[in-house]
């Protein structure tokens, strides 16, 4: 399988996950066992593959900061895949999502510094970080977070698709 094809698949995964995340931003929290949890599984797997594609596609350009962002975002993304639950009193989805957003914010800064043309995903991830920080203070921020995060992955999907056509 070619590198270009894998980047193309990562772009499709990110695009799909982002679009679904935007749609689910308005549904509120689901319960374990809810049929909608399957949609969240598709989203979470798409986010994980998107993060992999975002970094691996341009790892030479992203430097140490990009690696640090990736190294933080990837385990965060991996921890949100699957049934949500608590371990040692910690809500894994909330912590994993926050870790992922922090890592993606670092990756966004690396993308901007490297000038690789990923303005949409970079700004979306930085906006997601701001919305996450505002969530305890502003009740609608959770919806804004879902939408901005979804838009960032839609943008990433389109950016990766563009990169495969340019290759």
What is the structure's pLDDT at 87? 75
What mean pLDDT is reported for the chain?
A: 90
Cα 76–Cα 36–Cα 26 angle in degrees, nearest 5: 80
pLDDT in tens, 13-61: 999 999 999 998 888 666 656 777 888 889 999 999 999 999 999 999 9
Is 9 a residue whose pLDDT tops 90? yes
Helix (H, G, I), strand (E, B) or coil at 136: coil
Helix (H) or strand (E) holding 32: none
Phi, psi of 144 (to 5 degrees): -60, -40
Look-up: residue for tokens 């691996």? 56
C-alpha span between 52 and 146 (Å, rounded): 20
Mean pLDDT of 97-125: 96
Provide the pLDDT for residue 38: 84
What is the SS3 string spanning 53-110?
HHHHHCHHHHHHHHHHHHHHHHHHHHHHCCCCCEECCEEHHHHHHHHHHHHHHHHHHH
């Amino acid at each position: 399988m070619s590198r270009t094809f894998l980047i193309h698949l990562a772009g499709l995964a990110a695009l799909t996950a982002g679009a679904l995340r935007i749609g689910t931003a308005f549904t509120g929290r689901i319960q374990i066992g809810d049929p909608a949890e399957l949609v969240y599984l598709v989203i979470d797997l798409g986010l994980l593959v998107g993060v992999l594609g975002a970094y691996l596609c341009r790892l030479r350009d992203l430097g140490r900061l990009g690696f640090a962002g990736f190294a933080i975002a990837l385990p965060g993304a991996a921890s949100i895949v699957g049934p949500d639950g608590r371990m040692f009193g910690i809500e894994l989805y909330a912590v994993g999502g926050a870790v992922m957003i922090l890592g993606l914010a670092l990756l966004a800064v690396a993308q901007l510094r490297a000038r690789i043309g990923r303005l949409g995903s970079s700004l979306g991830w930085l906006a997601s970080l701001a919305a996450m920080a505002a969530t305890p203070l502003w009740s609608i921020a959770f919806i804004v977070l879902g939408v901005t995060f979804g838009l960032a992955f839609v943008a990433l999907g389109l950016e990766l698709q563009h990169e495969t056509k340019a290759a």
